[in-house]
Every structure is written in C-alpha cells, then in structure tokens.
A and B are shown apart, each in its own frame.
Chain A
C-alpha cells in the first residue's frame, strides 16, 4: 500500500490475495479457497491492472511515472492527512488486537482441536441447491445487474467520444 508505483501495489495485492487463498485452503475451506483464487487472483487483479493501465497519471504519460511524481506521491502519503489516516488505522488495529487477546477466544483451547467441519463439494452443492437456493438466485440476479451496469458505465463515454472526434477534434487532443 505504500509502494510508489501502482503496478507494484497491484502485484502486492495479488500476492496478499493468493496468501489468503492458501490460508483458506489450510483452514479446510477448499471451495472458498479455490473461489478466492479464481475470483481475486484471477479476475480482480486483472481488473485492477487494466484499470491502472487505462488511467495513466498526468505526470506519467510516457508509461513510467517520473521520479518527481513518485516523490510528490510519497510526500502526499506523509502529509498530515496521510499520517492521521495511518495513525487511525494503527489505533483500529490496536483496539482489534486488544479485543481479540482479552476475549475468551485466546484462552479457549478446545475450540481449535476438533476436526474440520465437513465441507465436501457434494455437501456444498446440496446446501446451495436446497437451503440456500434463494440467496443463490438473488446473487445471480445481482451479478447480472452489476455486469450490465459496469458495461453501461464503461460504454457511455465511449459513445460520446467518437461523436466528438467525428465533429472535429476532441478538446483533449486539441489542448
């Protein structure tokens, strides 16, 4: 999160998602781990890399950001607002860690000793098709709506820009 270049941030984020997927697999949740691997490492990382590719910073028009822009970005991180955000995040972590360590979770030893709950693909399929069929339909509808919405959002300006270029030059190109 504090790396200078955006692509390095995206790669670190991908590594973090992959590590989280490994943690899921280690905890016995195979389906969630594989879904995490497919969705986050496979799809969201690609989406973020493409978004970075399609939104170059003004100082980095040549593809590589200049060192000056990186320095100003780092100065922005260490600006008073950035320091305040970091301190706030540290405070949140301190409160959460204190809550975890002082709750009964850190002392109960019998909780983690049992076997992993049964989570075979067959059981997940039965549960999805029987008990959770309504959430499944709702999530399918929501994914469809989100996909259509994303396509419309991404297409709307593209329909405007060719009209401008057909009328002459777009203002960005002229300026």
Chain B
C-alpha cells in the first residue's frame, strides 16, 4: 500500500467516524464535533494529494540558484487546507454560539428534543 492510499484510508475512517457521530449522537455538541471530524478528513485528503500528487511546475532537482519563491501553483493544496481550517474555526465558533443560544432558550442540548419548528 502506498502512503497515499494509507492517507486516504485514514481519511475515510475519520470521515466515517465523524458521520457516525453526527448521525447517532443526540447531543448537539457532539454532532458539531462529528462535523469537525468530517472537515478534518477532507483536509487530510487535500494534504495527501498535495504531498503525493503530481506537480507539473515542480523542478525535479532544485538547483541552488532557485532559492527564491517557487511557483505558487505548488502550494494550492496547502493554501486550500489553511483556508479550510480558518473556515472550520469560524463555523465552530458560530455553531457553539448557536448551541449556547438554543440551550438558553430550551434548557436542553438534545437535538431530538428541540421540536419547536415541527409542523
């Protein structure tokens, strides 16, 4: 098994654990934690493909004269992961604030008991 396949399997396992947590747990905080795990699985996929994928502009043997900034196309996967981490941080902050607001409103954090919008 190549390292890329190993990383992808770890990512798939992480995604499945997150999905199981988001689907089975009733506590809203743990549902959010499961969503975070799934986001992390996507990040791991980005990193793995960035590390092991083909880089058309990447020189095979970097010469000492090329110590300047490399072509920014090499860093696309890494940049995507950094922006994704920022988005995940914002999402977690807003999600936890929402959970706190709902908890103050209904005195519960059980997602199966919050049925005020049920028709």
CB closest residue in chain A, given B62: A118
Inter-chain contacts of A105 with B (CB < 8 A): 2, 4-5, 8
With A126-B69, A135-B83, A149-B97 as given contacts, are A39 and B4 in contact (CB-CB < 8 Å)?
A: no
- Asked whether, in the complex, the Cβ of A1 is within 8 Å of the Cβ of B20, the reply is yes
Label chain A's interface by main secondary structure.
Answer: helix
Identify which of B5, B16, B24 contacts A101 (C-beta below 8 A): B5
Give the bracket for the number of chain A residues in contact with chain B: 35 or more
* B contact face: mostly helix, strand, loop, or mixed: helix
Restricting to A77-124, which residues have a CB under 8 Å from any CB of B?
A: 77, 81-82, 84-86, 88-90, 92-93, 96-97, 100-101, 105-109, 111-112, 114, 116-119, 122-124
Q: Which residue on chain A has the smallest CB distance to residue B13?
A: A93
Known: A23-B10, A89-B19, A96-B15. A109 touches B2 (CB 8 A): yes
Selected from A29, A44, A55, the residue in CB contact (under 8 A) with B36 is A44
CB-CB under 8 A from A163, the residues of chain B are none
A32 near B90 (CB under 8 angstroms)? no
Q: How far is the CA of A54 from the CA of B103 in the complex (A)?
A: 9
Against A, the Cβ 8 Å flags (1 = close, 0 = not) of B90-119 are: 111110111111011101111000000000
Cβ contacts B11-49/A at 8 Å (1 or 0 each): 011111101110111110110111011001001100110
User: Could you tell me if A139 and B83 are in contact, using CB atoms closer than 8 angstroms?
Assistant: yes
- CB pair A88–B23 under 8 Å, yes or no, is yes
Binding site for B on A (CB under 8 A): 1, 6, 9-10, 13, 16-17, 20, 23-24, 27-29, 31-32, 35-36, 39-40, 43-44, 47-48, 50-52, 54-55, 57-58, 73, 76-77, 81-82, 84-86, 88-90, 92-93, 96-97, 100-101, 105-109, 111-112, 114, 116-119, 122-124, 126-128, 130-132, 135, 139, 142-143, 146-147, 149-151, 153-154, 156-158, 161, 172
List the 8 shortest-distance A-B pairs measured between CB atoms, nearest first.
A85-B23, A146-B90, A93-B16, A89-B20, A96-B12, A1-B21, A150-B97, A126-B69
